[in-house]
Structure 1
Amino acid sequence: MERLELKEVQRLEGHNDRVWSLDWNPATGHAGTPLVFASCSGDKTVRIWEQDLSSGLWACKAVLDETHTRTVRSCAWSPSGKLLATASFDATTAIWENVGGDFECVATLEGHENEVKSVSWNASGTLLATCSRDKSVWIWEMQPVNEFECVSVLQGHTQDVKMVKWHPTEDILISCSYDNSIKVWADEGDSDDWQCVQTLGQPNNGHTSTVWALSFNASGDKMVTCSDDLTVKVWETENVQSSSGFAPWRHLCTLSGYHDRTIFSIHWSREGIFASGAADDTIQLFGDDNESQVGGPLYTLLLKKEKAHDMDINSVQWSPGEKPLLASASDDGTIKVWELVSQ
């Protein structure tokens, strides 16, 4: 069996505090266009990084500052790649538009009582979800001319909500929380009447500590979650939106014994490999175990990258485009871009 290796392409410096999160622009890296991603930090700024096509190296093309007054915790590009949403501990979410290479803040979303932890666009770019330490999840609808209206405030978590993520094809939203739960939200009917249609893992197979992050596979029929309980869990659904309404998720398997400190980030590649990043400074890659016995697909550790960063790894994310690149962000203030190569 061929051996996989994560080869460090470049170490990016510029932030002067921990880097919390990053997001690749989904509209880049295709048909000879350079890959672009955004990173956000405790230094209150967002940086836009672009790859030089001739050298393959990355440079910071813009610094978005003087808008947020506290840590920027999360950033997410719209599906078109034209807008960037940034969520901050200052209780606001900012919307940035790329106008001829310059980024302008075109909207500021207010309403959460305190720190906004995560932001996510739906597949069509018409809805934006935010979540907060105030235990709530808000759904915003994009109006003409970069205006956003809050159409629903979802109360269901009993603690800080760490992450929200839209399903890749359906308007179904998943949230995960400090209350150890994962909740599935759907719009039941024509009105903006969003409801919690499922809480995952209770009373069986659930995480036993904070759930930090989640990611879907490319087809959207599987989801992976990671937790402070040092496990990664894989969930599956038959059909996310069936004719009879919502189709529930069920627990497929639990991966434990790999990380020995909190797992902060998880991300599934289009090729079916998911990466995890943790407080043990390692990045680990998992893939389908095609040799697995009867009982469905299990997952096996493909690679463990020791000392990937000097401190906690807060975010890992696979790139769009043809070549499998992975970016990681850390408490050490750096971002690293890795290439997955076969030996």
Structure 2
Amino acid sequence: MKNFSYDDFELREIQKLEGHTGKVLGIAWKEDSGVWGILAVFASWSDDKTIRIWEENFSGFFVCKAVLEASCTVRSCDWSREFNLVAAACSDATTAIWKNVGVHAYEHVYTLKGHENEVRSVSWNKDGQFLATCGGDKSIWIWEVLPGNEFDCTKVLQGHTEDVKIVHWDEKILFSGSIDNTIKVWEETRFVNGDWRCI
């Protein structure tokens, strides 16, 4: 067996995916796809106001299987593993939620409102029960998924002094990054007083 060497490592283009009519701003892999025989799936988003869902075929190439229409530029996107939901951060200060309701079929089920400036990033926690959103209003909103595709804002986290650019969950810890040059680490203290604190 030949030992791996970075001297032999080379990446080559195997496919170019086209379809967006504006700048592609990011991609997000669907968790648990691409393993155990499950075909890989990812979402791409753009300033053309769309999210495109790409699925790997049995030849190893990706094909666009769905186009989700947003109301404005999409800034971020994330998949909920447990509830088959896709959340999109939008530049009109809203977060759009779609549900995977069938093979390659997605239905817009909710629009989250509350931020006073564009939403920059979205992130589901591991069990899909909570969604974090952040934006140009310097705040982070924590949304709880309720029965019937309903959502409730359980907390608005303040502390950053400038726009919050990204949020990301790791188990029960939430990270937020801002152009104020800081990263804040948040922990839920529900079993103490039902609140959140920056640790």
Length-normalised TM-score, structure 2: 0.92
Identify the residue that residue 182 of structure 1 maps to in structure 2. Answer: 183
User: What one-letter code is carried by the residue in structure 2 that aligns with 1:196?
Assistant: C
Q: Distance in 2 between matches of 1:13 and 1:192?
A: 46
* Structure 1 range deviating more: 186-195 or 117-126: 186-195
Partner-residue secondary structure (3-state), 1:12: coil
Identify the residue that residue 28 of structure 1 maps to in structure 2. Answer: 33
Q: Distance in 2 between matches of 1:165 and 1:5?
A: 30
Q: Distance in 2 between matches of 1:9 and 1:96?
A: 30
Identify the residue that residue 168 of structure 2 maps to in structure 1. Answer: 165
2:82 to 80, 87, 94: 80
1:44 to 37, 41, 49: 49
The answer on whether the counterparts of 1:86 and 1:95 sit within 8 Å (CA) in structure 2 is: yes
The answer on whether the counterparts of 1:49 and 1:58 sit within 8 Å (CA) in structure 2 is: yes
User: 1:7 deviation in Å?
Assistant: 2.4
Q: Distance in 1 between matches of 2:196 and 2:158?
A: 10
User: What one-letter code is carried by the residue in structure 2 that aligns with 1:61?
Assistant: K
User: What one-letter code is carried by the residue in structure 2 that aligns with 1:73?
Assistant: R
Identify the residue that residue 59 of structure 1 maps to in structure 2. Answer: 63
User: What one-letter code is carried by the residue in structure 1 that aligns with 2:50?
Assistant: T
Q: Distance in 1 between matches of 2:92 and 2:39?
A: 32
User: What one-letter code is carried by the residue in structure 2 that aligns with 1:6?
Assistant: L
2:92 to 80, 90, 102: 90
Equivalence map 1:84-233=2 (5 Å): 84-100=86-102, 101-167=104-170, 169=171, 171-190=172-191, 191-197=193-199
The answer on whether the counterparts of 2:15 and 2:61 sit within 8 Å (CA) in structure 1 is: yes
Identify unmatched segments of 5+ residues in structure 2: none
Length-normalised TM-score, structure 1: 0.54
The answer on whether the counterparts of 2:94 and 2:115 sit within 8 Å (CA) in structure 1 is: yes
Q: Which runs of 4+ in 1 moved over 4 A?
A: none
Q: Distance in 2 between matches of 1:126 and 1:81?
A: 9
Identify the residue that residue 258 of structure 1 maps to in structure 2. Answer: none
Q: Distance in 1 between matches of 2:101 and 2:122?
A: 22
Partner-residue secondary structure (3-state), 1:176: strand
Q: Distance in 2 between matches of 1:118 and 1:47?
A: 17
Equivalence map 1:284-323=2 (5 Å): none
The answer on whether the counterparts of 1:116 and 1:130 sit within 8 Å (CA) in structure 2 is: yes
2:5 to 2, 6, 24: 2
User: 1:164 deviation in Å?
Assistant: 0.0
1:70 is aligned to 2:72? yes
User: 1:16 deviation in Å?
Assistant: 1.0
The answer on whether the counterparts of 1:26 and 1:80 sit within 8 Å (CA) in structure 2 is: no
User: 1:81 deviation in Å?
Assistant: 6.7
Q: Distance in 2 between matches of 1:70 and 1:192?
A: 35
Q: Distance in 2 between matches of 1:115 and 1:64?
A: 19
The answer on whether the counterparts of 1:160 and 1:179 sit within 8 Å (CA) in structure 2 is: yes
Counting aligned pairs with the same residue, the percent is 56
Provide Cα deviations, 1:170-200, integer angstroms capped at 9, x if missing partner: x110000111100001112424311111xxx
The CA RMSD over aligned residues, in Å, is 1.3
Provide Cα deviations, 1:259-283, integer angstroms capped at 9, x if missing partner: xxxxxxxxxxxxxxxxxxxxxxxxx
Identify unmatched segments of 5+ residues in structure 1: 198-343
The answer on whether the counterparts of 2:91 and 2:118 sit within 8 Å (CA) in structure 1 is: yes
Partner-residue secondary structure (3-state), 2:36: coil
User: 1:10 deviation in Å?
Assistant: 1.3
Identify the residue that residue 288 of structure 1 maps to in structure 2. Answer: none
Q: Distance in 1 between matches of 2:186 and 2:37?
A: 38
User: 1:11 deviation in Å?
Assistant: 1.3
The answer on whether the counterparts of 1:151 and 1:192 sit within 8 Å (CA) in structure 2 is: no
Q: Distance in 2 between matches of 1:194 and 1:38?
A: 31
